[in-house]
A and B are shown apart, each in its own frame.
Chain A
Amino acid sequence: MSRSTQPSFRTGKILRAALYSVLILFAVYYLLPLFVMLVNSVKTLDEIRGGNMMSLPEAFTIEPWLVAWSKAQIGVEPTGLSPYFINSIMMVVPAVAISTALGAMNGYVLTKWRFPGDKIIFGLMLFACFIPFQIVLIPMARVLGMIGIAGTTSGLVLVHVVYGLGFTTLFFRNYYAAFPDELIKAAKMDGAGFWRTFTRILLPSSGPIIVVTVIWQFTNIWNDFLFGASFADFDSMPMTVALNNLVSSSTGVKEYNVHFAGAVLAALPTLIVYVVSGRYFVRGLMAGAVKG
């Protein structure tokens, strides 16, 4: 990205200081909720109730994290969030892998093996990215029941593959559209077929877009709530749904410290991905926002 040359700022150090203060103030604003979650997840319940949520813990305790992970009551079972964390992983990994693989092949066909009507197909897939999922909830519940995977992790995998296809196809299509056609033509001349051209020419240079797509899908599927709440039953509930059950359950004492620890646990996988490869995350967001 080329930096536009802005006129140099010579209006004085005061203005510069003000600029930095404003920017830092905003950083505080964005960090504050995370800070509150973290500090209160290591306080005792008494300290939270009696104290200031902005202050650092007086007596540090790891207990809320342990409770959130393995003892907290989710619904009726005192299992903690760990089984649901695992559910989410079991759901996310295949869903991301399948939707990314399909998206890569779709993008390849739609750019390098064009045929009449391919634009319409792409348009149909693209629009599918934006539909409000409320429009598919009722029939999806029935179809999952009909094929016997209602309330299972496999059912959720299917749902996430289907509704992720539009985006994965979009990502790969736009990436491959910029890939020089001459190389493809040359490969075809040399007798490379459909698969050879794909695996030898395109795939080796697809690293960045695969990372972008995997991160995008991982974040979206891990963070999904609507499908999990609609189609999972108790044994296949993903992390977000379990967290919401934990936080909004009206029985017993509200253990805020455990809620905070649970929220951080639910956020951790996507946060780690973001910290490790934020650049690709941003690229995915941009590609998802700026179409075409």
Chain B
Amino acid sequence: MQPSLPGKAQATLREVLPRLVLSPSLFLILLFVYGFIIYTGYLSLTDSRMLPSYDLEGLGNYAKLWGQRNWLIALQNLAIFGILYIAICSVLGLVLAILLDQKIRGEGILRPIYLYPMALSFIVTGTAWKWFLDPGLGLENTMHLWGWESFTFNWIKDRNMAIYTVVIAAVWQSSGFVMAMFLAGLRGIDSEILKAAQMDGASRWSLYTRIVIPQLRPVFLSAFVVLAHLAIKAYDLVIALTNGGPGRATELPATFMYSYTFTRNQMGVGASSAVIMLAMIASIIVPYLYSELRERR
């Protein structure tokens, strides 16, 4: 039977309609994500100051960027913050997940308590910890009032230690989330394997170190990717907690980019720092997404 002409038209519409539905989103993503990446990449090669300029000047901004002490401080802080944040969150998350997985009564109450900070804005977290860590108002003062006169905890005012307060607040916010990821991983392990290992007389410790933790490797990878990309993007928390200070002691790439672009009128340098940030994230995310998408086929 030959399809009639309207039928043909209908068939064509049927073919095209799905793509038509997808096209606004694709357009938005192509323009606002990839187009903007290209635009910012281009700006990083120009002599833009307060306003975008389209006069190319080569890699001058990158040379300037790497000659900036502030940028080097920001990278050093990111390294300290990123490594400690990822390491502590992973260890704490794993330990909490293992402890919670011991048939705990009240797990249903404890788990949401560990996880709720993830629902808060970093600005709220920053505000809470800012006063909590304030020597005159918070923990130090409390310890003094409780009779521990010699207790000092003034990291937030100390140039050399302030970056660690960012770690403290960020770990508080994210570790429960990592715990939830590990817990889901633990619950997904085949219990037969564990039973068999126990029959063979494996101790509790070796059960975990030899069998359980190695099986959690994919969770470690996911946790690493999520935490690393959060670390590189970290902005709000620093703004609320220390505002980059004292001095420039808690400058991170994200705060650097913002201040150079919008307050210091060095848009070219700001754009080049944004490109470096994107490159850092892409080097972690692209291989991860690639392997995840391939596996799923």
Other-chain residue from A52, A132, A289 in contact with B277 (beta carbon distance below 8 A)? A132
Cβ of B288 under 8 Å from chain A: yes
**B240 is an interface residue with CB less than 8 A from chain A:** yes
> Are A138 and B52 in contact, CB atoms less than 8 angstroms apart?
yes
Indicate whether A165 reaches chain B with its CB closer than 8 angstroms.
Answer: yes
Query: A259 with B131: in contact, given A138-B267, A223-B121, A289-B222 (CB under 8 Å)?
Result: yes
Query: B288, A240: Cβ atoms under 8 Å?
Result: no
User: Taking CB as reference atom, which chain B residue is nearest A274?
Assistant: B119
B249 at the A/B interface (Cβ < 8 Å)? Answer: no
Specify which chain A residues have a CB less than 8 angstroms from the CB of B96 in the assembled complex: 23, 26
Nearest CB on A from B256, distance (A): 9
User: Are B145 and A36 neighbours in the complex by a CB distance under 8 Å?
Assistant: no
Q: Mark A239-268, 1 if CB is under 8 A from B, else 0.
A: 010011001100000001001101110110
**Nearest A-chain residue to B30, judged by Cβ:** A124
Judge whether B274 and A132 touch: CB under 8 Å. Answer: yes
Q: Is the CB of B101 within 8 A of A6?
A: yes
Give the CA-CA distance A278 to B176 in the complex, in Å: 13
> Nearest A residue to B100 by beta-carbon distance?
A23
Q: 0/1 per residue, A46-65, Cβ < 8 Å to B?
A: 00110111100000000000
B282 to A, closest residue via Cβ: A127
Tell whether A86 is near chain B: CB-to-CB under 8 Å.
no
Given contacts A102-B24, A194-B14, contact A135 B29 (CB under 8 A): no
A33 contacts across to B, CB distance below 8 A: 117, 125, 128-129, 132, 172
| Residues of B close to A22: CB separation below 8 A | 99
User: B132 touching A135 by the CB < 8 A rule?
Assistant: no
Q: Assuming A127-B285, A128-B33, A260-B131, is B277 touching A135 (CB within 8 A)? A: yes
In the complex, what residues of B have CB within 8 A of residue A271's CB?
116, 119-120
Asked whether, in the complex, the Cβ of B29 is within 8 Å of the Cβ of A166, the reply is yes
CA distance A260 to B34 in the complex (A): 40
Task: List A contacts of B146 (CB < 8 A).
Answer: 52
Nearest A residue to B33 by beta-carbon distance?
A128
Within the assembled complex, what's the spacing in Å between the Cα atoms of A262 and B14?
A: 53
Assuming A109-B18, A138-B261, A194-B18, is B29 touching A128 (CB within 8 A)?
yes
B181 touching A135 by the CB < 8 A rule? no
In the assembly, what is the distance between CA of A260 and CA of B131, in Å? Answer: 9
Nearest residue (CB) in B for A7 is B198
Q: Give the distance in Å from the alpha carbon of A52 to the alpha carbon of B141 in the complex.
A: 7
A222 at the interface (CB under 8 A from B): yes
Across-interface contacts of B40 in A (CB, < 8 A): 135-136, 138-139
Tell me if A124 and B34 are in contact (CB < 8 A). Answer: yes
Asked if A134 is at the interface (CB within 8 A of a chain B CB), the reply is yes
Q: Which residue of B is nearest A32, CB measured?
A: B132
Q: Which residue of B lies closest to A36 (CB)?
A: B132
B127 at the binding interface (Cβ < 8 Å): yes
Contact between chains at A4 and B233 (CB < 8 Å): no
Does the CB pair B181–A54 fall under 8 Å?
no
Given A7-B207, A33-B129, A285-B177, is A27 in contact with B114 using a C-beta cutoff of 8 Å?
A: yes
Whether A140 sits at the interface, judged by CB under 8 Å, is yes
Residue interface bits A86-116, CB-to-B below 8 A is 1, else 0: 0000000000000000100110111001010
A-B contact pairs, 6 of them (CB 8 A): A4-B190, A124-B30, A194-B21, A224-B121, A247-B240, A278-B112
